[in-house]
Amino acid sequence: MISLKTQEEVELLRENNILVSKTLAEVGKHIKPGITTLALDKIAEEYIRSHGAIPGFLGYGGFPATLCVSVNEQIVHGIPSKYELKEGDIVSVDCGTFMKGFYGDSAYTFAVGEIDSRVAELLKVTKEALFKGAAMAVAGNRIGDISYAVQTHAESYGFSVVRELIGHGLGRDMHEKPDVPNYGVRGRGPLLKEGMVICIEPMINMGTRNVVFEKDGWTVRTADRKPSAHFEYAVAVKKGKPDILTTFEFIEN
Ligand code: MG
Ligand code: MG
């Protein structure tokens, strides 16, 4: 069952995702060499709680933190730790909130200081792939149109698309139907209807698309230990054009 949201519910999802967007920006201000990923987690938790929400990930399926913080070859679901960021790292910060009965869920990959130019290209292309996917989130299209747009953009630069982890519907649950893969065939998959709210979250690898699930039970990394990038938007499907509930404006401006 794919739940369709009323406009009122979409506004509550927007409130959550704007708070996530602002939390990511707050975290981003502190991303520099020497800070631990655990310190970033505390900043996010405090920010979310001081804005009337609770962290959406903390305790979700037993996850132990507010943020998923995934550095370099870590793709997603990294657990905040005593690891100190260093110049040249990239760090995916994935954040969730829960407020007024709904969830927010968005992610951004930050560069720590100066990074390698091919890694910078990975970040740029992954974000572009997200934008191209999100542009397809229009009533009358199909999930496969989003998937295809993401995959073709990433692969045209020689990068690879993770298969084991995908986007999802968002609402009163963090993970709802439909599945939103980052690979697929145009014109296939569930029909997009006004009122559907989905998270589109390309996870794009520099090398192989293959992944390893770490023994900590959470962290997913690239099999070849080359870097991976991750950006995530929550999007409400509309007629004519998508209604993007997340913004990276607070981070980038
Ligand atoms: Mg997320
Ligand atoms: Mg998500």
Protein residues with C-beta less than 5 angstroms from the ion ligand 2: 105, 199
Protein residues with C-beta less than 5 angstroms from the ion ligand 1: 94, 105, 107, 232
Model pTM? 0.98
- CA–centroid distance, 92 to ligand 1, in Å, is 10
Structure tokens at 245: 């509930």
- CA–centroid distance, 168 to ligand 1, in Å, is 10
Distance between CA atoms of residues 16 and 247, nearest Å: 12
- CA–centroid distance, 207 to ligand 1, in Å, is 22
Distance between CA atoms of residues 176 and 198, nearest Å: 8
Q: What is the pLDDT along the chain (253 residues), one digit of tens a residue?
A: 899 999 999 999 999 999 999 999 999 999 999 999 999 999 999 999 999 999 999 999 999 999 999 999 999 999 999 999 999 999 999 999 999 999 999 999 999 999 999 999 999 999 999 999 999 999 999 999 999 999 999 999 999 999 999 999 999 999 999 999 999 999 999 999 999 999 999 999 999 999 999 999 999 999 999 999 999 999 999 999 999 999 999 999 9
pLDDT of residue 90: 98
Closest ligand to C-alpha of residue 20 is: 1
Largest CA distance in the chain: 48
* Count of Cβ atoms closer than 10 Å to residue 75 Cβ: 25
Structure tokens at 138: 């229009």
Which residues touch 1 (CB under 8 Å, ≥6 apart)? 177
